[in-house]
Amino acid sequence: MPATIELAQIDKRFENGVLALQALSVRIAAGQFVSLLGPSGCGKSTVLRLIAGLEPASAGQVLVDGRPAQAGRSVMSYVFQEPTLMPWASVLDNVALPLRIQAMARRRARDKAAEALAAVGLAERAAAYPAELSGGMKMRVSIARALITRPAVLLLDEPFAALDEMTRQRLNDELLGLWGQQAPTAMFVTHSVFEAVYLSQRVLVMGGPPGHLVADLPVALGYPRAPSLRLQPQFTQYCRSVSEALQPAEAGAGAQRS
Amino acid sequence: MTGALRARWLVPSGAGIAALVAWEAVVRLRGVPPYILPSPTLIVHTLWINLDSLLVSWWYTVKITFGALLLALAGGVLLACAFALSRWLELALFPFAVALQVTPIVAIAPLILIYVDSTTASLLICAFIVAFFPVLSNTLVGLRSADPNLQDLLTLYGATRWQRLRWLLAPSALPYLIAGLKISGGLALIGAVVAEFAAGAAGRETGLASRILEASFRTEIPKMYAALALVALTGVAIYLASNALSRALLGRWHPSERNRD
């Protein structure tokens, strides 16, 4: 079951005194695909870490499914910018890891992992080690691992930033397909306006530091989305309005930095 | 690939054989007396004549070496785990470990021989002291160098401490532990031999150091060389064995082994 996410008047100050987020409030409906867009250093990743319960908020409340966010409590998955695979384990064992932590028997966890790998088109590479795979394949493994627990919330922190454009677009489509099957609440951090519009139902534009919400733009395009959508005028229109919202945020960040 | 592989064995063994031939030639052509420098063939001959007594001693030294190495492995890993769990424990005990490490073993050995009744036990302790530090410090670094994102991932999935150790910390520390073991293997042998020199040739069960001392008292130079050759060969065998272990455990995934020919 997908979960709602609610951030109410969040402040986040790190131990070194840096104020990363200020008075951030947002509510995300269960099963929504939301992108988080903004300049570097505006606290996008911090938002994800707060929702995951990996960091506490300094003020305000983070609620997942109506309960305070806490790592290890709700079924949540996280995809990092790097594939973050265990280099010493086979691809199959990497994908099975979340189930093994949940104390599922090895045999059964591996069967499920094989299914998850098949879903990302890597059934034949199950016995390979991460170092033997390309960047795009490693990221597919990482996504398969994230989805194997059928999470209520899927957090993705610029997962495709390091990939070439073609691989990136293909993985965008694969991600949407997988999301469509399980429909978790998805929160996708990205630098790319096109990626944000192509994937999501809603784009949150952040400014900062300290991070705050600049714009909250719905993307009223249905699913499933095909690659040809990128060429349609509606899509371009959405990209334009998101870019326009991003401009003052970028300018603000530039002024802060100089 | 096969060429590179062949070169990896042929070049060092070729160089070794060339050195032995040159040694033999110099001794024979110059007529160097065996009590100054025995020729390799004479050393092999001496080894063959004294094989029984030398093998018994060799086995004793090997037992001390591997006993100490196993103790160092167990002690080093356990202590590293304890330090990784408790910063206070590390702050309190690490200076002791360093002090033991930097004090020359020949200076400590006589004391240990006085305090401990059994010579074998004293030798084990000495060799252990020399061998355990590389295991401890390397494993500690290894435990601390686990990928922070993977740490977060395990936190997110609610892994227990034991699961974290099993799935993340132990495999992350393994390459470091093995690097430590490669150093400790040689050190354990050195510790075993040096401590026996300090102990002197006494007692019923004695190792190669006692044979070397004995031969030196009687100025049996070829026998000294024969015992020395056994020590050296044992050291080389330990080195090769630790390399093989490293390849077997890390060969498929760790860059240190993967990028080799």
Q: Best mutation site among A51, A85, A86 for testing chain B: the one with the most B CBs within 10 Å?
A: A86
What CA–CA distance (Å, rounded) separates B57 from B34? 23
In a mutational test of the A interface, the residue from B153, B172, B246 whose CB has the highest number of chain A CBs within 10 Å is B153
Q: Is A75 on the interface with B (CB under 8 A)?
A: no
Question: What local confidence, expressed as pLDDT, does residue A257 receive?
Answer: 47
B2 falls in which pLDDT band (50, 70, 90)?
Answer: low
Tokens 């911090």, residue located: A46
Q: Do A78 and B156 touch (CB under 8 A)?
A: yes
Token code pair at residue A248:
């003052």
**pLDDT for res A253:** 57
Q: Residue B216 has which token pair?
A: 């030196």
Q: With contact defined as beta carbons under 8 Å apart, do B253 and A131 qualify?
A: yes
pLDDT at A152 (0 to 100): 92
A54 touches chain B (CB under 8 A): yes
Share of chain A above pLDDT 90, in %: 48
Of the partner residues B150, B158, B258, the one whose CB lies closest to the CB of residue A86: B150
pLDDT at A254: 53
The letter for the amino acid at A49 is R
Task: Check whether B47 has a pLDDT greater than 50.
Answer: yes
Q: CB-based burial of residue A128 (10 Å sphere; 0-12 exposed, 13-18 middle, 19+ buried)?
A: middle
Percentage above 70 pLDDT, chain A = 97
Task: Write out chain B residues lying below 8 Å of A93, CB-based.
Answer: none
CA dihedral of A181, A187, A189, A195, whole degrees rounded to 10: 40
Query: Contact at 8 Å (CB) between A227 and A198?
Result: no
Exposed e or buried b per residue across B144-183, where buried means at least 16 C-beta atoms within 10 angstroms of its C-beta? eebbebbbbbbbbbbbeeebbbebbbbbbbbbbbbbbbbb
Q: Quick one: pLDDT band at residue A224, thresholds 50, 70, 90?
A: confident
Token reading at B13: 């063994």
As a whole-number percent, the residues of chain B with pLDDT over 90 amount to 69
Supply the pLDDT for residue B203. 57
Judged by CB atoms closer than 8 Å, whether chains meet at B157 and A98 is answered as yes
Round to whole Å and give the CA distance between B152 and B165: 14
Write the DSSP string, A44-103. Answer: HHHHHHHHHTSS--SEEEEEETTEE--TTTS-EEEE-SS----TTS-HHHHHHHHHHHTT
Provide, as residue numbers in chain B, all residues whose Cβ is less than 8 Å from the Cβ of A84: 147, 149-150, 153
Between B5 and B206, name the one with better pLDDT: B206
Q: Residue A159 is encoded by which pair of tokens?
A: 């997962």
Say whether pLDDT at A208 is over 80: no
Q: What residues of A are in contact with residue B148 (Cβ under 8 Å)? A: none
Asked if residues B189 and B65 have their Cβ atoms less than 8 Å apart, the reply is: yes
B121-141 pLDDT per residue, tens = 999 999 999 999 999 999 999
Q: Where are the domains of chain B?
A: 38-254
Q: Is A77 on the interface with B (CB under 8 A)?
A: yes
Nearest chain A Cα to B174, which residue?
A: A88
- Does the distance separating the beta carbons of B156 and A54 come in below 8 Å? yes
Arithmetic mean of pLDDT, B91-105: 89
pLDDT at B189: 95
- Using CA coordinates, name the residue in chain B closest to A97: B167
- C-alpha span between A198 and A190 (Å, rounded): 12
Facing A88 at nearest CB: one of B149, B153, B253:
B253
Model confidence at B183, pLDDT cuts 50, 70, 90, reads very high
- Residue among B149, B150, B155 whose CB faces A71 most closely: B155
Residues B107, B134: Cα–Cα separation, whole Å: 20
> How large is the average pLDDT for residues B6-28?
92
The whole-chain average pLDDT of chain A stands at: 89
Residue A74: list chain B partners with CB under 8 A. Answer: none
A54:B153 CB<8 A: no
pLDDT at B204: 61
Confidence bin at A258 (pLDDT 50/70/90) = very low
Residue A89 at interface with chain B, using a CB cutoff of 8 Å: yes
Residue A242, token pair as written in the block:
């998101």
Q: Where is mean pLDDT largest: A31-40, B1-10, B67-76?
A: B67-76
Neighbour tally for A223: CB within 10 Å:
11
Residue B237: predicted pLDDT? 95
Shortest Cα–Cα distance, A226 to chain B (Å): 32
Question: Residues B129, A65: contact at Cβ < 8 Å?
Answer: no
- The CATH T-level fold of domain A5-75+155-257 is Rossmann fold (3.40.50)
pLDDT tens-digit series, residues A44-84? 999 999 999 999 999 989 989 888 888 887 789 999 999 99
Residues of B with CB below 8 A from A102's CB? 157
Say how far apart CA A199 and CA A186 lie, in whole Å.
10
- Secondary structure (DSSP) of chain A: ----EEEEEEEEE-TTS-EEEEEEEEEE-TT-EEEEE--TTSSHHHHHHHHHTSS--SEEEEEETTEE--TTTS-EEEE-SS----TTS-HHHHHHHHHHHTT--HHHHHHHHHHHHHHTT-GGGTTS-GGGS-HHHHHHHHHHHHHTT--SEEEEESTTTTS-HHHHHHHHHHHHHHHHHH--EEEEEES-HHHHHHH-SEEEEEETTTBEEEEEEE----SS--GGGGGSHHHHHHHHHHHHHHHHHHHHHHHHH-
Contact of A100 with chain B, judged by CB distance below 8 Å, is answered with yes
pLDDT value, residue B201: 55
Percent of chain B with pLDDT over 70: 97
pLDDT recorded at residue B261: 46
Query: Taking CB atoms and an 8 Å limit, are B155 and A72 in contact across chains?
Result: yes
Q: CA of A151, closest CA in chain B: separation in Å?
A: 11
Q: Say if domain B38-254 classifies as CATH 1.10.3720.10.
A: yes
Average pLDDT, chain B: 90
Chain A partners within 8 Å of B154 (Cβ): 101
Q: For the residues A223-244, what does the mean pLDDT come to?
A: 88
Instruction: Please tell me the distance in Å from A177's CA to the nearest CA on chain B.
Output: 24
The answer to whether the beta carbons of residues A186 and A34 sit under 8 Å apart is yes
A73 touches chain B (CB under 8 A): yes
Hey, are the CB atoms on A86 and B171 less than 8 Å from each other? Answer: yes
Determine, for residues B163 and A53 on separate chains, whether the beta-carbon distance falls below 8 Å. Answer: no
CA B166 – CA A240 distance, rounded (Å): 49
Q: Considering only CB atoms, which chain B residues are within 8 Å of A72?
A: 155-159
Does residue A252 surpass a pLDDT of 80?
A: no
Beta carbons of A60 and A7 less than 8 angstroms apart? yes
B interface mutation test: which of A101, A133, A156, A187 has the most B CBs within 10 A?
A101
For chain B, say whether A106 makes contact (Cβ under 8 Å).
no
The string of pLDDT tens digits covering residues B210-254 is 999 989 999 999 999 999 999 999 999 999 999 999 999 988 888
Read off the pLDDT of each residue in B172-187 and give the average, rounded to a whole number.
94
* Annotated domain spans of chain A: 5-75+155-257, 83-149
